[in-house]
């Protein structure tokens, strides 16, 4: 059996070298995560998020009729952005309240319903049955949902004319609560 000489250029891995390798690998993973996270699908600006006082995350999708929708295009007018689904009982109860608010304030505020992951036929039957006329947009593949931290359905964001979130509600809004929050938005 041949004896291997100790090579002074190749050191065995010691605990210190292993820790260095782990640190370097961790930093690489962190860099990779941060780099990939910056390559998100929707355009953003500084101070974008879902906290009060932050710019609402912009997104593009389509209306039920297939035409293009971009949240950014609504700048200049306050927006009530409601995330919902037809199978969600609180969403169903809330829809007529949003419709009434829309009818009473359509010149002052834009109400937009974002349906989460359902097909057009299901949505069209639902809005026809409830006589919903405010704009409905689609999040067919649930790509918008993660940007808005949707813990519950429905979730409603109140966004001022500059695109800044001034209020939000996880869960169903009563008529009184909806009207109170809308009035604060319109001041």
How many whole angstroms separate alpha carbon 130 and alpha carbon 23? 58
Percent over 70 (pLDDT), the chain: 75
pLDDT surpasses 80 at 41:
no
| The pLDDT of residue 39 | 40
Nearest to 69 by CA among 125, 124, 140, 169: 140
What is the pTM for the complete model shown?
Answer: 0.75
| The pLDDT of residue 127 | 96
List pLDDT tens digits, range 51-108. Answer: 999 999 999 999 999 999 999 999 999 999 999 999 999 999 999 999 999 999 999 9
**In the structure encoding, which two tokens stand for residue 101, read together?**
């608010």
Contact (Cβ atoms closer than 8 angstroms) between residue 113 and residue 132: yes
Backbone angles phi, psi at 138, to 5 degrees: -110, 135
| The pLDDT of residue 38 | 45
Residues 6+ apart with CB under 8 A from 88: 153, 154
Least confident of 4-8, 57-61, 158-162, 172-176: 4-8
Mean pLDDT of 41-47: 55
Mean pLDDT of 113-139: 96
């Amino acid at each position: 059996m041949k004896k291997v000489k100790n090579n002074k250029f190749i050191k065995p891995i010691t605990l210190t070298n292993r820790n260095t390798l782990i640190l370097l690998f961790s930093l690489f993973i962190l860099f990779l995560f941060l780099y990939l996270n910056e390559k998100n699908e929707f355009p953003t600006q500084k101070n974008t998020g879902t906290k009060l006082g932050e710019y609402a995350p912009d997104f593009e999708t389509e209306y039920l009729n297939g035409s293009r929708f971009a949240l950014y295009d609504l700048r200049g007018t306050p927006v009530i952005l409601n995330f919902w689904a037809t199978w969600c009982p609180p969403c169903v109860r809330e829809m007529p309240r949003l419709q009434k608010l829309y009818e009473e304030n359509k010149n002052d505020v834009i109400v937009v319903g974002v349906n989460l992951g359902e097909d057009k036929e299901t949505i069209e039957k639902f809005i026809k049955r409830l006589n919903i006329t405010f704009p409905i947009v689609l999040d067919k593949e649930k790509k918008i949902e993660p940007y808005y931290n949707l813990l519950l359905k429905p979730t409603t964001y109140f966004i001022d004319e500059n695109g800044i979130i001034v209020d939000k509600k996880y869960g169903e809004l009563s008529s009184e609560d909806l009207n109170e929050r809308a009035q604060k938005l319109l001041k």
